[in-house]
């Protein structure tokens, strides 16, 4: 039996609950599955929360966490035609405590969850993309159908989801304002496509947004922070 190294979560707690372990290399059990030899795994806030607070399937400990990953296709199921061994891929899948995640040398992924890794990204860079990209895409396209010429305020524009949202909004033809905390972050978001940068520690976000929009308010506000900021953003949104 061929074995692989994994990082197992043995209990809920601090990072020391993550332990190096050995497991059998997983075998394809469904015709729609693909086995990926991992090159890099992403770490998202949800991964740290699951580690600290427990997974959605607490009876399945020890668990292998990790939702984001990038690697090379090792084997494909009988119904998979769009991928072949040797293909470089990235994905967001598993890692919630039921199916083993990306903190492993090999992982089984449903073919529909895979995409070809962009050639201009390293495996490490690609592994950092999937979940934040999915989150930003669903918000801007699936939820609000952001369009050409609309004005959007993106909170926390230098964050994981925020910096992707700025790029997607730019590609959609929107005008972009964003909030950041430092001058260095302001420089980053300008390079990504933000036309209006608000240093929220020194400036009134609502007043700056209303001035930027000629008093109308933004067509869309994307809140990547939550809590009180959600309600505080209401006056910055255009009526209706």
The CA–CA distances, whole Å, from 152 to 68, 167, 198, 206, 217 equal 28, 12, 13, 13, 9
In the prediction, which pLDDT does 92 show? 97
In the prediction, which pLDDT does 4 show? 98
Residue 69: partners with Cβ closer than 8 Å, 6 or more residues away: 36, 38, 40, 41, 42, 90, 91, 92, 93, 101, 102, 107, 127, 130
In the prediction, which pLDDT does 1 show? 84
In the prediction, which pLDDT does 161 show? 96
Angle between helices 183-192 and 160-171 (to 10 degrees): 30
Specify the 3-state DSSP secondary structure of 119.
Answer: coil
E strands present in 145-229: 151-154, 175-180, 196-199, 220-222
In tens digits, what is the pLDDT along the chain, a chain of 240 residues? Answer: 899 999 999 999 999 999 999 999 999 999 999 999 999 999 999 999 999 999 999 899 999 999 999 999 999 999 999 999 999 999 999 999 999 999 999 999 999 999 999 999 999 999 999 999 999 999 999 999 999 999 999 999 999 999 999 999 999 999 999 999 999 999 999 999 999 999 999 999 999 999 999 999 999 999 999 999 999 999 999 999
């Amino acid at each position: 039996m061929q074995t692989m190294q994994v990082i197992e979560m043995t209990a809920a707690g601090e990072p020391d609950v993550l332990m190096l372990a050995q497991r059998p290399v997983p075998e394809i059990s469904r015709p729609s599955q693909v086995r990926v030899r991992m090159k890099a795994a992403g770490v998202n806030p949800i991964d740290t929360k699951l580690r600290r607070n427990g997974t959605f399937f607490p009876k399945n400990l020890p668990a292998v966490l990790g939702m984001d990953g990038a690697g090379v296709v090792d084997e494909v199921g009988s119904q998979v035609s769009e991928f072949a061994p040797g293909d470089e891929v990235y994905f967001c899948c598993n890692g919630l405590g039921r199916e083993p995640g990306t903190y492993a040398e090999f992982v089984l992924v449903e073919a529909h969850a895979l995409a070809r890794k962009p050639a201009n990204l390293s495996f490490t860079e690609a592994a950092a993309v999937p979940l934040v990209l999915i989150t930003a895409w669903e918000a801007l396209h699936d939820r609000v159908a952001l369009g050409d010429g609309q004005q959007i305020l993106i909170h926390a524009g230098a964050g994981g989801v925020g910096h992707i949202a700025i790029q997607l909004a730019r590609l959609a033809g929107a005008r972009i304002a964003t909030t950041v905390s430092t001058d260095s972050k302001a420089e980053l978001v300008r390079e990504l496509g933000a036309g209006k940068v608000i240093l929220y520690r020194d400036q009134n976000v609502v007043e700056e947004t209303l001035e930027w929009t000629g008093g109308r308010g933004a067509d869309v506000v994307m809140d990547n922070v939550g809590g009180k900021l959600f309600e505080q953003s209401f006056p910055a949104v255009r009526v209706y």
